Amino acid sequence: MDANGKVALVTGGASGMGQIYARRLAANGAKVAIFDVNQQGLDATEAESDNITAFHCDISSLEDVNTKVAQVEGQLGPVDVLVHAAALMPAYSLAEHSHEGMEQLFRINYFGTTYMVRAVLPSMQARGAGRIIAFGSIAGIALVPKMGAYCATKAAVNAYIEVLQNEIRGTGVRAHLVCPPAVNTPLVDQTINTDAPGSITESKEKGRLADPEKIINAIEKGVAKDKDIIYPSEAKLLYFWRALAPGLWWKTVMNFEK
């Protein structure tokens, strides 16, 4: 993807994979707006490059999203590329996860996705050009205990983006769905710091979580090949394992809880 001179908007741009993507786009000549609620991370990331402009934005608020996207368009121009990486990933068993907590997850992970897409899509369609790169998750397919609400939000995101990419096919606007495995970023630390599945805890302890730089490499290659759905690292293996041997999948992941 030729980023030079383009306007890119990256959510979750203050840390993790969103931050890595924002840095790369800026280094390749894009004017990059980053959205996050982490003001310290926003300030630090913005200070790294003259091509990065930070906006404090709560993506669970439709009003805030629309206001901040309008500010981006006013300051930088129409958005050519949306990279939507922002999310929450706490872990609780479903019997203990509060209704308020699950509702918050859906407001951020699912509705945050729909708000961001709908904020930039009309302008892209009017211009007949644009690219949306949205982070779903393999967790929406290869389900695990103690993350039922998170898995449900990502299953919803996966479905939303897959339908979207087919509805807009041929319009000049492209949507890519990214389904990464567990990645060694601050997002997975949210899981570790709550009631993490044993499989993720062990992966963290033994250094088996995916490298975020390598995940972004794989995403960039997938976008360059114009893939609809991108399964970086071990995600494709997990997809087939869950699809072809669900009993074995559940036996394996539940063994980590003993």
The verdict on whether 239 is a catalytic residue reads no
76: which 2 tokens? 């930088």
Whether 241 maps to a domain, the answer reads yes
Output the domain CATH number for residue 170: 3.40.50.720
Which member of 110, 150, 160, 231 is catalytic?
A: 150
Whether 2 maps to a domain, the answer reads no
CA-closest candidate to residue 111, choices 165, 156, 148: 156
pLDDT at 146: 96
- Kindly give the residue spans of alpha helices, DSSP state H, lying in the chain: 16-27, 39-46, 62-75, 99-105, 112-127, 148-167, 186-192, 198-205, 212-224, 235-244, 246-255
* pTM across the whole model: 0.96
pLDDT at 1: 72
**Tens digit of pLDDT at every position of the chain (258 positions):** 789 999 999 999 999 999 999 999 999 999 999 999 999 999 999 999 999 999 999 999 999 999 999 999 999 999 999 999 999 999 999 999 999 999 999 999 999 999 999 999 999 999 999 999 999 999 999 999 999 999 999 999 999 999 999 999 999 999 999 999 999 999 898 899 998 999 999 999 999 999 999 999 999 999 999 999 999 999 999 999 999 999 999 999 999 998
Whether 95 maps to a domain, the answer reads yes
Whether 1 maps to a domain, the answer reads no
SS3 call for 131 = strand
Whether 72 maps to a domain, the answer reads yes
Number of domains within the chain: 1
Instruction: Supply the range of the domain harboring residue 192.
Output: 7-255
What separation, in Å, do the N-terminal and C-terminal C-alpha atoms of the chain show? Answer: 46
pLDDT at 138: 98
Dihedrals φ, ψ of 169, to 5°? -60, 135
